[in-house]
Amino acid sequence: MTVELRDFIARRKKELNALILAHFYQLPEIQDIADFVGDSLQLARQAAETEADVIVFCGVSFMAESAKILSPDKTVLLPEIKAGCPMADMVSAEALRNLKEKHPGAVVVCYVNSTAAVKAESDICCTSANAVNVVKSIPEDKTIIFVPDRNLGAYIERQTGRKMILWDGYCPVHDELSREEVREQMRLHPDAKIVVHPECVPDVTEMADAVRSTAGILDYVKTSPEKEFIIGTEKGFIYTVQKNCPDKVLHLARQDFRCEDMKLTTLEKLAASLEQMQYQIEVPEDIRQKAYLTLERMLKIN
């Protein structure tokens, strides 16, 4: 069945002139069949630059929305309509507008893990890969509101020395990783380097040897002379890193490091999406135009 599904997906993709994008946290079989696998910043750039007629986004809803914002003339499909992001749901456009009214003139930086409506209320978007540089690009006399991830915001503050107004949102998966769990892995693997995602709590990022985006973690492991690593991000990414670094020994920082939403997309759902052209993502044009500006500004910063 798997071979038949793969053959169908390949054939149907060609018929539609479709591009399959997959996030690093997707199931291995989804990563293997995708045209491009990456983190949020890499995937956004692919969506903005592709000449395909159809973009099939194997990820979660905010990623597919971003693809539609950047490529409004393309058909954007999300194979699993229920694949969402709890962090993105922690801030609404209305709540952000209320906060902006209390801080007139503030620059709003929104993490890409946010809805199109929230992006439309923001001034510039960022990913974990370029968040520090995005904040550095803002004049020092400007107040900054950062939404929705308090942990990424705290990391940016430490790296830039800029105090920001942080929204009290978080990734439920990364936020769970504790200092004690990392210490236990250090006890078990004393020679391993620790590299974690900035969505982890400050207690964890402060004790890591490196704090990187997912793509940054991969680059860190690939280029490091060290051979053993404790990885502090979603478990699906271990497949990616091991595939690219077969000579390295990897340990997951916690065994339950799993994003259920990222695991909802299967080969069966991908095939059904291509066959039935479901589920098509739409963004109201007034919201899209405003959100486009926040993403465009982000893409200009490395």
pLDDT tens across the length of the chain (302 residues): 688 999 999 999 999 999 999 999 999 999 999 999 998 879 988 988 999 999 999 999 999 999 999 999 999 999 999 999 999 999 999 999 999 999 999 999 999 999 999 999 999 999 999 999 999 999 999 999 999 999 999 999 999 999 999 999 999 999 999 999 999 999 999 999 999 999 999 999 999 999 999 999 999 999 999 999 999 999 999 999 999 999 999 999 998 899 999 999 999 999 999 999 999 999 999 999 999 999 999 988 87
What whole-number distance in Å separates Cα of residue 47 and Cα of residue 150?
A: 27
The residue among 53, 85, 47, 46 whose CA lies nearest residue 67 is 47
The ranges of the chain annotated as CATH 3.40.50.10800 are 2-85+262-282, 88-166, 174-258
Q: What is 2-85+262-282's CATH topology?
A: Rossmann fold (3.40.50)
The residue among 213, 200, 277 whose CA lies nearest residue 241 is 213
Residue 81 one-letter amino acid: I
At residue 80, φ and ψ (nearest 5 deg) are -125, 105
Which CA distances in Å does 46 have to 21, 102, 147, 244, 296?
8, 37, 24, 20, 13
pLDDT value of residue 44: 85
Residue 1 one-letter amino acid: M
pLDDT value of residue 1: 61
78-81 LR contacts (CB < 8 Å, sep 24+): 78/273, 78/279, 78/281, 79/265, 79/269, 79/270, 79/272, 79/273, 79/278, 79/279, 80/264, 80/265, 80/266, 80/269, 80/279, 81/278, 81/279
pLDDT value of residue 218: 96
The DSSP bridge pattern shows strands 36-38 and 54-58 to be unpaired
Instruction: Identify the CATH class of 174-258.
Output: alpha beta
Which alpha helices (H) appear in the chain, and where do they start and end?
A: 2-16, 28-33, 40-49, 61-70, 93-102, 116-120, 131-136, 150-160, 179-188, 202-205, 214-223, 236-244, 267-276, 285-299
Residue 269 near residue 31, CB atoms below 8 Å: no
Options 2.40.30.10, 3.40.50.10800, 3.30.420.40, 1.20.1090.10; which CATH number does 88-166 get? 3.40.50.10800
Question: Which residue has tokens 């790296």?
Answer: 159
Residue 13 one-letter amino acid: K
Contacts of 172 (CB under 8 A, 6+ apart): 86, 87
Residue 44 near residue 299, CB atoms below 8 Å: yes
